[in-house]
Structure 1
Amino acid sequence: MNIPSLLNVAIGLFLVYLILSLLVSDLQELISAYLFDWRAKNLKSSIESILGAEIARKLYEHPLIRSLKNYKMDRDKGAAGPSYIPDEIFALALIDLLMEAAGIEERIVSLSVEDFREAIASDEVQKLLDKERIELMRSLANKAQIDGDKKPFIKSLESELIGWFKQSMDRASGVFKRRVKGMILVLGFAVAVLLNVDTLNLATRLSLEPVLREQVSQNVDFVLSENALSKYLDCLERASLEPKDCQSLVSPNFLNGVEREFFSLPVGWNAANLSYQFGADFSSFKLLRAILGWTLTAIAISMGSSFWFDLLNRLIDVRNTGNKPPAAIDFQSSKSSDSSHS
């Protein structure tokens, strides 16, 4: 098999992995956020670890945080809280909470660094925050004062708190990410079996059938034609947004079209695909081969949709650079034409 054919086989596999990664991500979000409330519980415990239990409790009672209701909270009043807290909402709620605890919340509109220092030095705030966290708030206020010459202090302080919150959440979410990684691997294997996406069978079919490779090339063009796909994938990875908030980034018919293109590939439990996968004489060896193929698919899915999207784009670029530029062809043909006339 030549290099362009191998590239098309790889492109076909990566396209399948990208589509399945999107599907499994949605399933994982449904299970972790709405069935077991894992994301909300992890978020709350992370905030408690960076602020302290008492101030975290008051923060969750703040109107800005309480307004972030979701389906789980509406159904179960004992739910941990929202699954997502936007960065700017967290920063504003924390500033307001500290100013209110100090009894000077009316100054928040024209907040100055002196007002904020007065607030965190008050006895009421020192009952909520330990000495180390108060020093952290003072350091963030100082940095906001230095960096905020061209904008109001409260905006600079908000930016500093947002940056600190993001870094803290990245460090504190390691346990949750490992749990999600394991769940995605299990879900990936279940989806691979349910949809019969056997990597070995799919690679064999793509390598032996030029027509199928051409079809995959068209499928890839359709998927990558969605200009907002990269923004959609970035949105799905942000912990401050609900997955449903990302749907508006892509055209309404795009996800349905992706599903249609996926099932046009050699996947599923239909008779035609099974005849290629297992043949007329079923054997334990072929079953083990299929299990290995499903396992490889599950491992690939666990890499994530953004990984396969980036890799797919790189392969497309490699394939396109292998094509001879039209200008060079025109030049050669014109040169031949001139020599024939001479």
Structure 2
Amino acid sequence: MNLPFILDVAIGLIFIYLILSLLASEIQELIATVFQWRAEHLKKSIEILLAGDVESAEEAHVIQLANRIYDNPLVKNINQEAKGLFVTIPRKITWAIGSLYRMVKKPRPGTDKSTSIFGEKKHSGPSYIPADVFATTLVETLQIPALVQKLTESRLKKFKEERLSEIEEIIIKLQEQTSGDESLANFFSNIYKEFAELRSEFEKTCWNFQQKKASLQTSLNRMAESFDRYIESFQAEMLEDELCGKALRRLKFLKKDVFDDIEQAILLGGLQPNINEVVQTIDQTSDIYKEIKAAIQDEDSETHQGVKKAFQTIETAAIENLPPSVVQNLAVLAKRAQARAKNTEEGMKALRLEIENTFDSSMERASGVYKRNAKGAAILIGLAIAITANADAIHMISRLSKDSALRDTITNSAGEIVLRNSTVNLDQLRQEADEVLTNISLPLGWGDANLEQQIRWTRQSKTTFPYLKILALIPGWLLSGIAIAMGAPFWFDLLNKIVNVRNSGKRPNHYVRNADEKEEE
């Protein structure tokens, strides 16, 4: 037994496993498509990420939060489906199979048997979600931007009231100090009218911010401009009096102290929540959440009824029954993001980036789990194919070692396939394998020719089928099942290497011709 002989047997065996692996991969891909293994695994992985562990992932509020994420238009747009009568027929068949499968399964917590894993009235889901899409969708689903807006509105209103109170205090103190001077009556009357206009302008500024018609910085600039106009009116109306001059200086000092640096005013006033406070907006036990709720509940005017209703919608849809793990995980991510954030906008970007990184890490682990599960399914499919095709590894090695014609035919065909395919292309390999199989009778199947050499029995035999001999085939089937599960890319790569080794070991043609000529002489 020499090396070329061993290589030829190995090439023949590898070629057979390549053919069977192509069939197995086709079957596994079909099953994965029908039962949406990838999409279902992605959905469950997201639920585990939200819950923090596998056990909590089956809780109703975790499933409901994941379903709300899948309801987001950004995720819906990823799950593209074909349109048209004929192209949707296969998909509808898979949906019907999935519905039957759910009927025999126990419904998930918080759902019924008619609800798929992807949510109510959904038959399918995306097999892949980009990290940035997930981060944006999670933040939007939790209504964090809306809650941040409400918190900022509340703090801006408080800021407005504090500044107006300080201005009013200066006027009242001046009025008390000049209570006996009747010449200032008209002055105070005009100043209080101007103060009422100032209050109205401040409230209008807050309302514009609430309606998102102006940014926070723009709103403070407008308040500063209104305050400047009030100071000008005060200066124009006041009499040449030491106490009035002192009150004017106090107003100018207050204006400079508060509005001279808008960014500093925002920072010192805590008008923009930091990223840690942003995350606390979804925690019903936090002081920040209570601050928002108290501020909104204090508004009794008709104009604020819409704000109350909007907050109640957010509270019901996003915050109630929110998994504690989501709040805890976001709090940890917020602490990481805080170091890179100078303001709320940068903090939100940093938080999204942290969510993206966490999602990517989680999906890497989920991908490893899916590959292990897929390998287990591949082994089962490989065993099924090995038994169905009667692919006995021991018998195949025996046939290849004894039948030189079969060995040469398979070796030549394998060499041609390797030469025509430098890289793995499963579709091309399937097509060429089909062409090769029409000319080769492989040592497979339950036909008389193969059974006669395998267990010395044919259908024409007068004896009954030797069932006990089947037991001897089980080890060969097991070996073949595991080999088939290795996958077509593995066998093609191995075939490519061995064919190259075999070809490199051949003697050149001119050497063979010279040797033949010498023998003739």
TM-score in same-fold range (> 0.5): yes
Change (3 A) 1:325 1:283: same
The aligned residue for residue 381 of structure 2 is: 187
Amino acid of the structure 2 residue aligned with 1:300: A
Instruction: Report the structure number with the largest CA radius of gyration.
Output: 2
Deviation at 1:197, TM superposition (A): 1.7
Deviation at 1:48, TM superposition (A): 1.1
Candidates 123, 132, 136, aligned match of 1:95: 136
Amino acid of the structure 1 residue aligned with 2:145: G
CA contact (8 A) 2:47 2:66 kept: yes
CA contact (8 A) 1:65 1:85 kept: no
1:61 has 2:71 as partner: yes
Spell out the pairing of 1:91-130 with structure 2 (5 A cutoff): 91-98=132-139, 101-103=143-145, 121-123=278-280, 129-130=326-327
1:273 has 2:283 as partner: no
More divergent stretch after superposition (37-46 vs 282-291): 282-291
Q: Residue 78 of structure 1 aligns to a residue in which SS?
A: coil
Task: Tell me which of the two structures has the higher relative contact order, counting C-alpha pairs closer than 8 angstroms and 6 or more residues apart.
Answer: 1
Deviation at 1:259, TM superposition (A): 3.1
Alpha-carbon distance in 2 for matches of 1:316, 1:309: 10
Structure 2 alignment gaps of length 5 or more = 52-61, 82-90, 100-113, 119-123, 147-271, 284-318, 341-348
Deviation at 1:187, TM superposition (A): 2.2
Alpha-carbon distance in 2 for matches of 1:34, 1:24: 15
The aligned residue for residue 313 of structure 1 is: 496
The aligned residue for residue 9 of structure 2 is: 9
Change (3 A) 1:260 1:194: farther
CA contact (8 A) 2:75 2:133 kept: no
The aligned residue for residue 432 of structure 2 is: 257
Deviation at 1:56, TM superposition (A): 2.6
Alpha-carbon distance in 1 for matches of 2:40, 2:18: 29
Deviation at 1:287, TM superposition (A): 2.5
Amino acid of the structure 2 residue aligned with 1:20: L
Candidates 468, 472, 476, aligned match of 1:289: 472
Change (3 A) 1:163 1:18: farther
Q: Residue 494 of structure 2 aligns to a residue in which SS?
A: helix
CA contact (8 A) 1:185 1:301 kept: yes
CA contact (8 A) 2:386 2:392 kept: yes
Change (3 A) 1:179 1:309: same
Please list the CA deviations of residues 234-284 of structure 1 after superposition, one character each: whole Å capped at 9, or x if unmatched.
xxxxxxxxxxxxxxxx45xx5233234346222223332222222247745
Deviation at 1:46, TM superposition (A): 0.9
The aligned residue for residue 34 of structure 1 is: 34
More divergent stretch after superposition (194-203 vs 309-318): 309-318
CA contact (8 A) 1:186 1:298 kept: yes
Q: Residue 229 of structure 1 aligns to a residue in which SS?
A: coil
1:303 has 2:486 as partner: yes
Count of residue pairs brought into register by the alignment: 293
Deviation at 1:166, TM superposition (A): 4.6
The aligned residue for residue 48 of structure 2 is: 49
Q: TM-score, normalised by structure 2?
A: 0.46
Amino acid of the structure 2 residue aligned with 1:209: D
Amino acid of the structure 2 residue aligned with 1:31: I
CA contact (8 A) 2:21 2:487 kept: yes
Q: Residue 266 of structure 1 aligns to a residue in which SS?
A: coil
Candidates 202, 215, 218, aligned match of 2:412: 218
Q: TM-score, normalised by structure 1?
A: 0.67
Q: Residue 103 of structure 1 aligns to a residue in which SS?
A: helix
The aligned residue for residue 132 of structure 1 is: 329
Amino acid of the structure 2 residue aligned with 1:207: S
Alpha-carbon distance in 2 for matches of 1:303, 1:65: 34
The aligned residue for residue 306 of structure 2 is: none
Deviation at 1:172, TM superposition (A): 3.4
Alpha-carbon distance in 2 for matches of 1:269, 1:120: 71
Amino acid of the structure 1 residue aligned with 2:116: A
Alpha-carbon distance in 1 for matches of 2:23, 2:404: 28
Amino acid of the structure 1 residue aligned with 2:25: S
Deviation at 1:103, TM superposition (A): 3.3
Amino acid of the structure 2 residue aligned with 1:321: S
Change (3 A) 1:8 1:166: farther
Alpha-carbon distance in 1 for matches of 2:330, 2:48: 11
Q: Residue 506 of structure 2 aligns to a residue in which SS?
A: coil
Amino acid of the structure 1 residue aligned with 2:139: L
Alpha-carbon distance in 2 for matches of 1:4, 1:163: 52
Please list the CA deviations of residues 64-106 of structure 1 after superposition, one character each: whole Å capped at 9, or x if unmatched.
3234166378544733234653353x532432542573337xx
